[in-house]
Amino acid sequence: MTSKPVFVLNGPNLNLLGTRQPEIYGHDTLKDVEDLCAATAREAGLDVRFHQSNHEGEIVELIHAARMEGSGVVINPAAYTHTSVAIRDALAACEFPVFEVHISNVHRREPFRHYSYVSDVATGVIAGLGLQGYAAAIRALARIIPGRV
Ligand code: DQA
């Protein structure tokens, strides 16, 4: 185990996963995402802290906590991807790897979802793999967190 955990952060409306537009986001719930992240992190030898918030400032504060206490971030900023300079700036202040994850392929959707304030400050971006995007990001983090390769 690394001593510092990986933070998995989820933005607004992701608490509704499973019932929210299942034709786009599927039937799995946020608890399923959390369980998948926990299992993937365990296999990779990482500790994980999992959060969801509908509030921009709270997500900024979670990123600050990750910056102090964590070794990497996997974030699905949800709608804030397309609007939030504050979340972008908080991520830009992190010196560890950051992966942006989207359950859906945002590039196949409405034009306003094609722009991300986060992508160019992220280490990597995963979209359209469903829940497996979170697992892929955690596995990638396990390979690139300093001292773990
Ligand atoms: C999302 C895509 C965003 O455009 C949307 O606002 C979300 C979820 C995704 O995981 O596919 O809430 O981030």
- pLDDT at res. 8: 98
Is 65 a member of any domain?
yes
149 within a domain of the structure (yes/no): no
pLDDT in tens, 32-82: 999 999 999 999 999 999 999 999 999 999 999 999 999 999 999 999 999
Centroid of ligand 1 to alpha carbon of 24 (angstroms): 9
Q: Is the pLDDT of residue 149 over 60?
A: no
Residue 148 confidence (pLDDT)? 61
CA distance 4 to 70: 5
Nearest-CA residue for ligand 1 atom 2 is 78
Structurally, how many domains does the chain consist of? 1
The domain that holds 43 is classified in CATH as 3.40.50.9100
Domain assignment of residue 106, yes or no:
yes
DSSP assignment letter at 29: -
Residue 71 covered by a domain: yes
Name the residue range of residue 133's domain.
6-144
Q: Are 37 and 48 in contact (CB under 8 A)?
A: yes
Q: Is residue 123 part of a domain?
A: yes
* Residue 1 covered by a domain: no
Return the residue whose CA atom lies nearest to atom 3 of ligand 1.
78
Q: Which residues pair with 125 in a beta bridge?
A: 100
Q: What is the pLDDT of residue 146?
A: 74
